[in-house]
Each structure stands twice: as structure tokens, then as C-alpha cells.
Structure 1
């Protein structure tokens, strides 16, 4: 078994040309590996390509050039159904938009992915996931009665209950206060262990400093790479036009 859960080689992504504009390069010749058990944060200025890179890693966006190999599978060689099955069985997503089903309670939203993936998730497993994000008392509430932060925590519980091989998180603490955000980061830190990995896009440099490795994007390319950095080191890497890898 490879130590790498995810391998990216020479990945580039261009937005298609419009009637009044030429094609725009969003990602430029990116190559990187994500090891099993690793917690990786992606940071950079707005428009640097962070979310696009995350979606390409997860197979939600096809690259213009290059390859993405997830769990030994070249995503470009998979049909739509096979790619969807790979994501369903092995990947968890935490999006800014939550993607909760309005007609279901928080508990039912967390429980929903298991039967869709033909996997068992007992009541105790769902209860534990909700307790881990501090939503035990809100388990029977519908999303419309939850605050934005509570909806985000429900979305995170839904992912963690499935214990995926890799979690892709797009600004997972963006709607949370400091205490709840720290709680979520603790959960993501715990999820990145043994054979499971977490890849997180964030604007929060304190959150990024919780990761094993931080990738700093600028103009669609990896500008710096930091290992176990402090928040000050992440800030320096984001704000200083350096090209040296650390």
C-alpha cells in the first residue's frame, strides 16, 4: 500500500474563453502528494486558486492538464458512475454551503449518507458524531431552526460519522465563533490519523497552523510549503513574495 492517499502530477486548470475574454489560468503545473494520516491546509490570497485546487483533488472539477490519483485510482480514467462511487465510499466533503436537507432533522441529515453508501451506522455512532460537535440538544431540529454555525457543525458531523479515508474541507470554520471553530479543528485534527487524511482550504491562518503541512498558493501555483508552522510563519509566507520552499 502506498503511503500517499492522493497524488497530483502537473495539474493545470484553465477557465474556458468567453466571447470577450481569453482563457484564464487558475492553476499552474501543480504537483504534490498527500500522505496517509496527514492534515494539510491550503492558504493564499483570494483568487489564488485554493478552492479550485480542492475541487480538482476531490474529482469535482476536471483539470485541464495533469492527473489526480486518489486511493490508487486515476480520476481521469474513471467513468462518472465509478468516480461517484469512489467519492461516496471513501471521501467526505465539508462545504461552506452546508448542503443539509431542509426536511430532515440534524440527526437524520447525519445518518443519511450511510444507507446511500450501503454501510451501517448505528444510532450510537450518529449520536457520538453529534455530541462531538456539540449538537446533542439540537439533534431533532430542522436546519431552518439552527444557526449558521450549528448548520456547519451538523455538516461536519455528517462527514465524520462516515469515517472517510479523506476529508476535503472548504472553509470549515468560516461560520463559527472562536470556541466552536477550535472544537471543529480538534475534530479534523483527530480525523487525520492512521490511514485517513484531511485537506482543508482556509483563510484563517491560526486554523492553518494546526495542520501538519501548509501549502501557500499564489497566482495558481504553490508558492511556499511549510511543515508544522506557527501562525506567524503562515502569515509571513502568505504576505511575503518568497519563492523558497520551507
Structure 2
């Protein structure tokens, strides 16, 4: 069997609560994501799904357990090594886009690869823009783009950086149906070959586009669904909410 591109074992995470008591958010989560997979994470509010995404992507430290990305165990890496891993191997699509307002779409797309010391060519940037249907918006700054266009620029930035694992946090949350569908189609295209996508979403239709759906409940994986319908995701979420 192919080695997982992303894996976690016994992952725990807690945050400070009242009276200096730690409040557990992740309670021993284990999972594996294979190359070419598109995995969605869903769950009731407070189930830990966004915290899990940030821990898996090396953006948030975890308390115990282990996470491996492309064969590298995060807990064994020094801060500079973690930073290098995030720049070279991980791509993150934020709900808030995280584009730099003073830069054009082209400049925003080229920036992460440049920071990782593997600059992309103008041809590669144009190809990424074309892939997201924004060939005519390369010289526009984020303020002159719609929400859907900004999200597509954020995905083009990931495409140009060529990361092995793409993490997406509610990528369609601020978009209308048409723009959201386009973004999901792009993420589906990314999850092929040697690359994978892990997405947190509250959108049932979006989750149903994934190969697998992990349903969280109270910081644990409650259920795993393989190529489910939106209705099946809803049933699993309802059950998770009732049993939480």
C-alpha cells in the first residue's frame, strides 16, 4: 500500500480555560491521507475541526501524539525546519483569502514560492491564473476583485507553489453557489497524482465532493464516510450532534 502523504496518531490539543484548567479540544485523533485523496472534515460547532486542520498543517502546535507530512514528523522538526516544510510542502487556502492588498494578483501568486526560494516564472503564474479562469485579472489588486475571484487567486497561489498537501479552511464559506462550485472544482483537480487536499467545511454539498469525509464529535473521529451523498453527510452530522 502507498505510504500516506499525511498521517496523525493519537493527536491531542487543549486550550487554557477558566481557573487555569486546560480544556481538551482534540482527544487522540488518528488518520491517514493518501496521495491523490480529497478528504473533507465536518462536525458540529466546537467539535475541533478547525483546530485539527491547523495542527495537521503545522500552523498550530499540538500537545501530544504525532503528525507526519511527506515522511517528516512535525514534532521532531526545529522551528526553522517547520517553516521550511510549510513553505515547500504545505499549501493553505484560508476562508479570509489572506491576500496582500498592496500586491497584484500575479504578485500574490508568486510570493509564497519566492519566499520558499524556488521562484515561479511569469509563464507559471499566468498558467495558474488561467487555471482558475482569471487570465484577465492578473494586474488587479484584491480590493478590485470579488470574493470569488479573491478565493480563486488564493487557489492559484497554491497551484503555483506546487505543495504536496493543500489544506483548505471553509474555502466556500464566503462565496455564492457559483463561485463556491468553481473553487471546489479547482480543489478536486489539485487532489490528483502525488498531491492531496484536506478541507474543513460546514457545506454538505462541498463535503460530498470529497473522496472521504471525517465526521468529528467532541474532538474525536465519530464516523468516516466514503464518497457519501450530501444526505449521508447530514445524517452523520445529525447523529454526531445528538450524541455529543
Q: Classify the TM-score, shorter chain.
A: over 0.9
Aligned residue number for residue 182 of structure 1: 181
Q: In structure 1, what is the Cα distance between the partners aligned to 2:23 and 2:194?
A: 36
1:149-208 CA-partner distances (Å, limit 9, x unpaired): 222221111111222100000011112221121111111111111110000000111000
Partner SS state of residue 202, structure 2: coil
TM-score relative to the length of structure 1? 0.93
1:91-137 CA-partner distances (Å, limit 9, x unpaired): 10101121111111111111112222222422222112122222222
Aligned residue number for residue 218 of structure 1: 217
Change beyond 3 A, Cα 1:242–1:110: closer
Q: Where does structure 2 lack aligned partners over 5 or more consecutive residues?
A: none
- Pairs within 5 Å for 1:24-103: 24-103=23-102
Aligned residue number for residue 199 of structure 1: 198
Q: In structure 2, what is the Cα distance between the partners aligned to 1:177 and 1:128?
A: 25
Q: Is the 8 A contact 1:5 1:34 kept in 2?
A: yes
1:25-63 CA-partner distances (Å, limit 9, x unpaired): 111111111111111000011111111000110111111
Aligned residue number for residue 4 of structure 1: 4
Aligned residue number for residue 109 of structure 1: 108
Q: Is the 8 A contact 1:152 1:175 kept in 2?
A: no
1:144 Cα deviation after fit = 1.6
1:72 Cα deviation after fit = 1.1
Q: Is the 8 A contact 1:42 1:216 kept in 2?
A: yes
Aligned alpha-carbon RMSD (Å): 1.7
Q: Where does structure 1 lack aligned partners over 5 or more consecutive residues?
A: none
Q: In structure 2, what is the Cα distance between the partners aligned to 1:75 and 1:196?
A: 19
Aligned residue number for residue 147 of structure 2: 148
Change beyond 3 A, Cα 1:241–1:145: closer
Change beyond 3 A, Cα 1:82–1:171: same
1:21 Cα deviation after fit = 5.4
Runs of 4+ in structure 1 displaced over 3 angstroms? none
State the number of aligned residues.
242
